A and B are shown apart, each in its own frame.
Chain A
Amino acid sequence: MAIRRILIANRGEIALRIMRTCRHLGIETVLAVSLADKDSVPARFADRVVCIGPAKSTDSYLRAETIVHAALAVGADAIHPGYGFLSERVQLARLCEDNHIIFIGPTAIQIEAVGDKLRARAQAEAAQVPVVPGGAINTLAEAQALAEIIGAPLLLKAVGGGGGRGMKRVDRLDELPAALELASAEAGAAFGDARVYLERFVAQGRHVEVQILGDGRGKVVHLGERDCSAQRRYQKLIEETPAPHLSDSLRHDLHNAAVRLSESLSYRGAGTVEFLVDVERQTFYFLEMNARIQVEHPVTEAVTGIDIVAQQIAIAAGNGLNLNQSDVHTQGWSIECRVNAEDPDRDFQPSPGLVRQVQWPAGPGIRVDTHIESGSKVSPYYDSLLAKIIVHASDRSAALALMQQALSHTHLQGITTNISFQQRLLSDPDFVAGGVDTLFITRLLSHTN
């Protein structure tokens, strides 16, 4: 079915990013906005806006029925959920299916299969994708027995968690009873699901993920990997592709594992399979699958020249996948820095407010995905992402130099940002050498304090 009008159920830079591709494809856009976003840059870019509720996202962006009602009322053929909010909620995908609206994403069943960590793990094992040693636990006795086998340090994870939320590290086995009780209570409160599982904590791990596209009928291609190890409290700050210093065989195995898992699901749309690369053992484990577009998708677009949003729309419209694996070629190196409204000197506290003046970098090899212009208000209701600065150059050192140059030409007045911290990360000798692990930023900050 042809898609002529899309309702975008998101906000900020990703809403604008999606609408740009829609405009390029000649598709009309209707943006669902909260009261706080009515005058935003994305709202002005949209062909139409509908106000779906007050600023608080639980009363607006997280209301699946309201979104679907709005889509039906404006005659939209499809809904693009972006990332975050309702993008991985089974409810929205199912409501779309029941009301003959195209959901630009995987099927409700696929979201369910990968959204539940235990089911995703089982799915990965069935597809012969390695998983971190560990498993589900129902009682303290089970947890202790399993912990004895795996050995400390351990990680307790909420089954319903994600994005780094709902995790607890256990360094000694005698800490397990108290940690389990706390993790279970927290998981119940935060995700409405008190189930937890236990796994090996990899002391030196890198976060490497593989972008895939599936046609929903079993055909899957990968668009290479991204290294997102530069994280603070599980929040990614810098992403790059290719992942530095991976052996060809490990890289190849990562790609194939992602494709195998996605094929086993007959996955539909764009997805990302996240892996933990165990640096010591030179192996990798499946972490989770994200059934949506990722924040960091532009680095993949830079090196492949493939518009991932356009692919999502084509697949959703039933046009299948117009790419074979042999059509995917990567060129050069791409790095993304997230510019957040956070104060690095105050433990990265959010810094909402009025952006009086802004200057974004420009020039060959520089892309800025943002919804912020001079006069924009950064609302305290939403996450603090202001912009993604993406550079593309012939190799890693050229990309690093270009990113430094781009950041030095980025100026925001009125709010505090993490730009100076990003510059510090980029010039750190370990980061310059490449291939840092996920504790890189934690170590850097502990040296400072």
Chain B
Amino acid sequence: MSLTTKEIDQISQLLQDSAFDELHLELDGMKLSLRRAGAGFSEQRREPTPSTPAAPMLSPPAPAPTSTTPNPPPAAITLDPNQEPVTAPLLGTFYRAPKPGAAAFVEVGSEVDVDTVVGIIEVMKLMNTVRAGCKGRVTAIHARDGVLVEYGETLLTVARIS
């Protein structure tokens, strides 16, 4: 069976009016998973709070974040030997720039040295600088600005220059 767009709209309205963050529906041969924007396990800070009103968001029926399946490790990134991962030295909110609107500390292509600041990790309003820890050129930036990073998560990749 299938659902019309209108029916999906109606179902999403049900979720919006409810106290729940997620809805998983299984009908003959089809699965529908709805999740509130900003809900679930994405970054959701309670303060400063100005966030857009929660609206249901269609998401693929892929593994639900609240499933009981084993948790995938955060952002495991394979690298060739010359590529050095720069990992989060602590859990917190990652910022790519010193303040909102300012230029990012580094971009893809930036050259970095051991002490070059590549980002900030904020833990309960305490800012911790993250340094590259190696000399090279940034080839990829994995962590998004303003998002929770876990300890050991790869923030960016640097191609080493000897």
Residues 141 to 162 of chain B near chain A (Cβ within 8 Å)? 148, 150-153
9-residue interface stretch from A37-45, A190-198, A205-213, A323-331: A37-45
Shortest CB-to-CB span from A148 to chain B, Å, is 50
A74-B41, A99-B46 known; A51 vs B148 contact (CB < 8 Å): no
- Decide if A35 is an interface residue (CB 8 Å cutoff): yes
Contacts of B153 in A (CB 8 A): 51
Whether B46 pairs with A70 at a CB distance below 8 angstroms is no
Query: Looking at chain B, what size class is its interface with the partner chain?
Result: 20 to 34
Query: Looking at chain A, what size class is its interface with the partner chain?
Result: 20 to 34
Q: How many A-B residue contacts, CB cutoff 8 Å? A: 76
- Decide if A2 is an interface residue (CB 8 Å cutoff): yes
Residue with the highest number of chain B CB atoms closer than 10 Å, among A30, A43, A47, A54: A47
Residues 64 to 113 of chain A near chain B (Cβ within 8 Å)? 65-66, 68-70, 72-75, 95, 99-100
| A39 CA to B122 CA, complexed, in Å | 26
Residues 62 to 117 of chain B near chain A (Cβ within 8 Å)? 65-68, 70-71, 73-74, 90-93
Which listed residue, B19, B68, B150, touches A50 by the CB 8 Å rule? B150
- Decide if B123 is an interface residue (CB 8 Å cutoff): yes
Shortest CB-to-CB span from B75 to chain A, Å, is 11
Whether A53 pairs with B90 at a CB distance below 8 angstroms is yes
Main DSSP-derived SS at the B contact region? loop
A51-B91, A51-B151 known; A68 vs B71 contact (CB < 8 Å): no
Which listed residue, B19, B66, B73, B93, touches A69 by the CB 8 Å rule? B93
Closest chain B residue to A68, Cβ basis: B124
A65-B126, A66-B123, A73-B148 known; A52 vs B44 contact (CB < 8 Å): no
| A83 CA to B70 CA, complexed, in Å | 25
| A344 CA to B153 CA, complexed, in Å | 40
A46-B71, A49-B71 known; A73 vs B90 contact (CB < 8 Å): no
Whether A72 pairs with B126 at a CB distance below 8 angstroms is no
A51-B74, A69-B91 known; A35 vs B151 contact (CB < 8 Å): yes
The 5 closest A-B pairs by CB, nearest first: A75-B44, A73-B148, A51-B150, A65-B124, A51-B151
Task: Spell out A's residues near B (CB within 8 Å).
Answer: 2, 4, 28, 30, 35, 38, 43-54, 60, 65-66, 68-70, 72-75, 95, 99-100
Known contacts A44-B70, A72-B44, A73-B45; can you find 20 more A-B pairs with CB under 8 A? A4-B21, A44-B71, A48-B65, A50-B91, A50-B150, A52-B91, A52-B151, A53-B91, A53-B151, A54-B151, A60-B151, A66-B90, A66-B91, A69-B91, A69-B93, A69-B123, A69-B124, A73-B44, A95-B124, A99-B124
